[in-house]
Amino acid sequence: MEPFEEPGSWWIPEHKSDIRGGTVRFGYGNDGITLSLIGSFQPSGSDPERRAPYAYPIILGRTSSGRLMTLEESTPTKSMRMGFEENP
């Protein structure tokens, strides 16, 4: 398999309407396949019934070239939040 990097749209089957943009990458070495999302699958709010599990058994996606992908046994490795402060 050749290394690749491709943007696309990603979702978990339980929340098909909660689509996130992101980039899937494959490279040689220990990294394997990685998915970098814009946002997260974690819904906002405090309803524990709507929260996604920490590990995702399946993530589905469609890349910008139209390739359909299924990622299995995905575990988040880190998250970043960006915020802005308004100066008075």
Residue 18 has pLDDT above 90, yes or no: no
pTM above threshold 0.75: no
The one-letter amino acid at 38: I
First to last CA, the chain: 54
pLDDT in tens, 52-79: 456 788 999 999 999 999 998 887 776 5
Each residue's pLDDT tens digit, 34-51: 888 887 776 555 455 555
b/e burial code for range 48-64 (CB count within 10 A of at least 16 → b): eeeeeeeebeebebebe
* Cα angle, residue 5 at apex, residues 22 and 62 outer, rounded to 5°: 50
Residue 24 to residue 38: CA distance in whole angstroms: 12
Q: Enter the tokens of residue 73.
A: 């046994």
